[in-house]
Amino acid sequence: MNEQQHIIGYKKLVGTWLALLALTALTVAVTRVELGGFKVAAALAIACAKSGLVIAVFMHMRYEGRLLRWLLFLALATLAIFIGLTFFDVLYR
Amino acid sequence: MTDNTQPAVSSFWNDTGKSGIASWVFSTDHKRIGLLYFYATFGFFLVGVLLGLLLRLELMAPGRTLMGAEAYNALFTVHGVVMIFLFIIPGFQGSFGNLVMPIQIGARDVAFPRLNLLSWWLYIAGAVIILTSLFTGGGPPDTGWTFYVPFSARTGTNVSLAVFGVFIVGFSSILTGLNFVTTIHRMRAEGMTWGRLPLFVWSLYATAWVQILATPILAITLVLVMAERMLGTGLFDSGSGGDPLMYQHLFWIYSHPAVYIMILPGMGVVSDIIPVFSRKPIFGYKFIAFSSLAIAAFGSLVWGHHMFTSGMSDTAIWVFSFLTFIVAIPSAIKVFNWVSTLYKGSISLEAPMLFSLSFILLFSIGGLSGLILGAAATDIHVHDTHFVVGHFHYVIFGGAGFAFFAAMHFWLPKFFGRRYAEKPALVAWALMFTGFNILYFTMQVLGMKGMPRRYYDYLPEFASLNLVATVGSWILVAGLIVMLVNLFRGLMWGVPFEGNPWGGATLEWSTPTPPPTENFIDEPIVTHGPYDFSGIEP
Amino acid sequence: MTHHPHKDDAAAKLGMWLFLFTELLLFGGLFLLYAVYLKRYPHEFAVAGRQLDWTMGTANTVILLTSSLCAAMALTALQLGEARRAVALLGGTLLCAGGFMVIKYIEWSTKIGHGIYPGSPHLKSGAPGESIFFSLYFMTTGIHGLHVLIGGALLAVIGQKVRSGVVSADNYILLENGALYWHLVDLIWIFIFPLYYLIL
């Protein structure tokens, strides 16, 4: 039983791909500049944007129901908490 | 006298038209898979009991009694690996989760029946690999079930093969969790709202989330241990710039939530049994349901309490200690609600109820000793002593184990169509309860006095208490034997168990006994809650 | 008894997403280790990272993004009833996957040829932080590469089923789920790329 028949058109997909390529170029450009620690944050932020696009469009999440989106948030929050709590140790030794 | 070993009615035992062992080990029926899990995991429980008995024999007297240090190290390692990875983690979800949950939600089967079968086969494959590691190469691992580096990276024993076996078992666990979450979301019968789910189902749901989110961390950790040994990656080796504490973090990020995989289904069973044998609806249904989720959530935040003496930062120590105290709260909520359910109930002390009531007591004792362990300052005194060993046996064995026995008495008659004899069941319980406390309370006293864990020898001043504990283990096992003989005889040849003898109100009690493969003759439409006993008499 | 044929695409998709969460956490463990060791060895990670070829890394990023595009378009094609185009696009995905593995092979063999591999004498005698960086690099890209192979095999099998008509416009959940798996492989690389090739 197919609950939703939402089909993402080719144009939208190619447009997303172009945006991803642009962001990739941006990542490379940003990290060629000597920004020290800010490099990490910038690159990670752009990576998050890229993955957001892949998840929302390629993986269809933009058109899915609330449940799936909340569960994704749960999984990401879990990973963030694992890393965060570990850093209570690593940062303060 | 006709052979009464098979139930006479047409049921999942005989209504598929196929017979023989292949119809079982390739079956996608959740009930058959549940029984396959039960036989396998309980079989490994008995192996683990045997190993435990041997450990207690060695500790009966100071000095070398039966074996030396190396053999003892291997023995407690295998005891732990078998009990944890081959019994209690897969056991509850795999056997009673599979047997009962789909029926309790009014479904024909789980969401992915073939994946369910794959889960069981992966479990068996992992178990075979673990068993192989005991008898090949450098021999059984001697690192403790916790496989701490640097020893696990360097010891000549068969660590790589053993952890690979655990990895496979973990994969089985992940698939089961995924299957159960999907099943509970998608396959509830009409009228079976989330608010009408039996509390056992809520507990399985919370457990399944832990299986999904925590087990992958174990998977990567075990792969990294194999990489340390086989590739020399050095990620946990201080000589190579690595940090052994990172192993401990990664290991416990899984293994602490894992203990909630062990206990949550047990709490769910108790929540289902107590109302039935008190003839009263559960007190605080919503609180118990949400406390299962809260335990799963908060339980994922406390892993550092295994590392208070490891060299972790002081900041981490007090953060994890604080969070550990918080996780006690939802468990306490459950205890209050169970006791409130009993109040003014019409209580009958049959075997499932006795095991459930003793669960509450034994789990609470374990929980209280957990507070001493959770407070970092007092933990320093008792860390790595038998106090810890006593604590976790109280919660895992007195808690999850006794709940498992409760479930056996409560549900197996439904699936076999025959029941055990009541008096021997009570005798067995009494022996087990007595032996259990003699064994493990004494152990906690020993730990408080300073007897370290994982040593095959100890100071002479600990001798008499160790002897007492060992005698306790014999009484415990005597009770276990009585229980097993009683159950086996009853389920095979005992009095037929028909209708709804317990007077349960959840859906499994409304099906034929044993259930047909399809579970229900007509698809159920649910109109009342799981503990609404109006019109139902035991 | 009314007996619906058991086909619940929403359940299949939910199950697939749950599986993807487990993959996220699997790689998450490796990223956790990276974060911790980056904090400890910022200088050595930078030195080691510069020994990786960022042009190859960028090429692989573009290749995987393109492979993801092909997989997503394959699903659209099938949903629109264009089965042959779907198969061709899946072929494109596999081609990209192959290209990715070739570049990965070149990278690895170059490194190993220079004595840079886990536990190598060269790394053992150098700065500990660099050894840690490369151990993480090989483990992470190795496990990722394994997933590229698995995903590729999966899509190849699904492509066959599209050709035979088993997977079609009326029954495309298998392709949808296979594509989801492939996108995850792409997602992981989106983070591997800057962390190993660019930050430093």
pLDDT at B436 over 60: yes
Q: What pLDDT does B298 receive?
A: 96
- Measured between alpha carbons, how far is B382 from B376 in angstroms, rounded to an integer? 10
> For residue B17, what pLDDT is reported?
85
Residues of chain A that touch chain B, judged by Cβ-Cβ distance less than 8 Å: 67, 74-75, 78, 81-82, 85-86, 88-93
Share of chain C above pLDDT 70, in %: 96
CB-CB contact of B427 with B385 (8 Å): no
**C-alpha to C-alpha distances, B335 to B40, B262, B269, B393, C87, nearest whole angstrom:** 31, 17, 13, 19, 58
Quickly state the pLDDT bin for C3 (edges 50, 70, 90). Answer: very low
The alpha-carbon gap from C46 to the nearest alpha carbon of chain B, in Å, equals: 16
Say what the pLDDT of residue B83 is. 98
Q: Chain C residue with minimal CA distance to A9? A: C76
Using CB atoms, pick whichever of B179, B213, B523 lies closest to residue C1: B523
DSSP C19-58: HHHHHHHHHHHHHHHHHHHHHH-HHHHHHHHTTS-HHHHH
- Specify the long-range contacts of residues A71-77, CB closer than 8 Å, at least 24 apart: A71/C17, A71/C18, A71/C21, A72/C17, A72/C21, A74/B213, A75/B213, A75/C21, A75/C24, A75/C25, A76/C24
CA distance A55 to chain B (A): 19
Instruction: Provide the 3-class DSSP secondary structure of residue B418.
Output: strand
Q: Provide the 8-state DSSP code for B510.
A: G
Q: How far apart are CA A66 and CA C24, in angstroms?
A: 20
The CA distance from B214 to B168, in Å, is: 15
B526 part of a folded domain: no
Taking the C-alpha atoms of residue A75 and residue C28, their distance in angstroms, rounded to an integer, is 10
Question: Which of A89, A90, A91, A93 to probe the B interface (max B CBs under 10 A)?
Answer: A89
Q: How far apart are CA B501 and CA B413, in angstroms?
A: 10
Q: Which amino acid is at B285?
A: Y
Contacts of C199 in chain A (CB under 8 A): 31, 39-40, 43
Residues of B in contact with A93 (CB under 8 A): 311-313
A71 contacts C10? CB cut-off 8 A: no
Query: What whole-number distance in Å separates Cα of residue B326 and Cα of residue C74?
Result: 49
Q: Mean pLDDT, to the nearest integer, of C31-35? A: 97
pTM (two decimals): 0.96
Residue B173: closest C-alpha in chain C = C22
B234 in contact with chain C, both atoms CB, cutoff 8 A? yes
| Interface contact flag, B234 C127, Cβ < 8 Å | no
Residue C171: helix, strand or coil by DSSP? strand
Q: Please enumerate in sequence order all residues whose Cβ is within 8 A of that of B395, keeping only pairs 6 or more positions apart, or say none.
A: B259, B263, B362, B363, B366, B367, B370
Q: Rounded mean pLDDT of C42-65?
A: 95
Tell me the C-alpha distance between C56 and C52, whole Å: 8
Task: Single out the residue of C71, C56, C84, C88 nearest to residue C152, CA to CA.
Answer: C71
Residue contact C15–B223, C-beta within 8 A: no
- For C118, which DSSP code? T
Residue B213 contacts residue C25 (beta carbons within 8 Å): yes
Residue B195's H or E segment, with its range, is none
Closest chain A residue to B296, measured at CA = A78
When pLDDT is cut at 50, 70 and 90, the band that residue A52 belongs to is very high
What pLDDT digit, counting tens, does each position of C102-160 carry? 999 999 999 999 999 999 999 999 999 999 999 999 999 999 999 999 999 999 999 99
Q: Tell me the pLDDT tens digit for each residue of B287-345.
A: 999 999 999 999 999 999 999 999 999 999 999 999 999 999 999 999 999 999 999 99
Q: Is the pLDDT of residue A35 over 90?
A: no
Binary contact (C199, A17; C-beta < 8 A): no
CB distance from C19 to chain B under 8 Å?
Answer: yes
Site from A4, A5, A6, A20 to mutate, C interface, most C CB atoms within 10 angstroms:
A20
Q: Which residue of B has its CA nearest to A84?
A: B301
Residue B190 β-bridge partners:
B525
Q: Mean pLDDT across the stretch B428-454?
A: 97
> Burial, B515: exposed, middle or buried (Cβ in 10 Å; 0-12, 13-18, 19+)?
buried
Put simply, the answer to whether B241 touches C41 (Cβ < 8 Å) is: yes
Q: For B1-24, write each residue's pLDDT tens digit.
A: 344 444 557 899 998 888 899 999
Nearest-CA distance C85 → chain B (Å): 31
DSSP-derived letter for residue B158 is S
Answer yes or no: do C1 and B521 touch at CB < 8 A.
yes
From chain C, pick out residues whose CB is under 8 angstroms from the CB of A17: 65-66, 68-69
pLDDT (tens digit per residue) in B335-392? 999 999 999 999 999 999 999 999 999 999 999 999 999 999 999 999 999 999 999 9
Q: Is residue B5 part of a domain?
A: no
DSSP tag of B515: P
Choose the mutation target among A12, A28, A78 for the interface with C, i.e. most C CBs under 10 Å: A28
Asked if C72 and A58 come within 8 Å (Cβ–Cβ), the reply is yes
- Residue contacts between B and C (CB atoms, under 8 Å): 111
Residue type present at position B422: E
CA A85 to chain centre: 22
Q: pLDDT at residue B520 above 80?
A: yes
Whether C22 sits inside 8 A of B215 (CB atoms) is yes
Choose the mutation target among A61, A74, A79 for the interface with C, i.e. most C CBs under 10 Å: A79
- Whether residue B490 contacts residue B453, with contact meaning beta carbons closer than 8 Å, is answered with no
CA B32 to chain centre: 20
Nearest Cα residue in chain A from B323: A85
Interface test with C, best of A3, A5, A8, A10 (most C CBs within 10 A): A10
Q: Given pLDDT bands bounded at 50, 70 and 90, which one contains residue A45?
A: very high
The number of folded domains in chain B is: 1
**Per-residue pLDDT reduced to its tens digit, B184-201:** 999 999 999 999 999 999
The helix/strand/coil state of B402 is helix
Contacts of B315 in chain A (CB under 8 A): 88-89, 91-92
SS (H, E, C) B425-488: HHHHHHHHHHHHHHHHHHHHHHHHHCCECCCCCCCHHHHHHHHHHHHHHHHHHHHHHHHHHHHH
pLDDT band at C4 (very low <50, low <70, confident <90, very high): very low
Which pLDDT score, from 0 to 100, does residue B464 have? 97
| Nearest residue, CB atoms, B242 vs list C14, C29, C132 | C132
Domains of chain C: 21-198 (1.20.120.80)
Q: Do C65 and A8 touch (CB under 8 A)?
A: no
Mean per-residue pLDDT, B195-222? 98
Reported as a pLDDT band with limits 50, 70 and 90, residue B537 is: confident
Q: Cβ contacts (< 8 Å) between A36 and chain C: which residues? A: none
> Can you tell me the distance from the alpha carbon of C65 to that of A18, in angstroms, rounded to the nearest whole number?
10
Average pLDDT (B398-410) is 98
Residues from chain A that touch B319, judged by Cβ atoms under 8 A, are: 85, 88
C-alpha to C-alpha distance for B269 and B198, rounded to whole angstroms = 9
Q: Find the CATH number of the domain harbouring B46.
A: 1.20.210.10
What is the rounded CA–CA span in Å between residue C47 and residue C56?
18
Over 60: is that where the pLDDT of C7 sits? yes
User: Which chain B residues contact residue C21 at CB under 8 A?
Assistant: 212-213
A67, A88, A93 ranked by CB distance to B319: nearest = A88
Sorted by sequence, the CB contacts under 8 Å of residue B488 that are 6+ apart come out as: none
- Average pLDDT on B63-76 reads 94
| Average pLDDT of the segment spanning B190-218 | 97
Which of A67, A81, A88 comes nearest B316 by C-beta?
A88
Percent of chain B with pLDDT over 90: 95
Q: How confident is the model at residue A37 (pLDDT cuts 50, 70, 90)?
A: confident
The tokens describing C34, both together, are 């990276």
**Residue B4 placed within a domain:** no
Subunit contact A85:B245, Cβ cutoff 8 A:
no
Residue B128 carries which DSSP code?
A: H
Domain that holds residue B83: 27-510
For chain C, positions 115-144, list CB contacts with chain B under 8 A.
118-119, 124, 127-129, 131-132, 135-136, 138-139, 143
Share the mean pLDDT of chain A: 90
Q: What is the CA radius of gyration of chain B?
A: 23
Contacts of B300 in chain A (CB under 8 A): 78, 81-82
- pLDDT(A3) > 50: no
pLDDT confidence of A5, banded at 50, 70, 90? low
CA distance B248 to B271: 34
pLDDT computed for residue B2 by the predictor: 42
The tens digit of pLDDT for each residue in B28-45 reads 999 999 999 999 999 999
Domain extents for chain A?
7-59, 65-93
What residues of chain B lie within 8 A of the CB of A89, using their CB?
245, 249, 304, 307, 312-313, 315-316
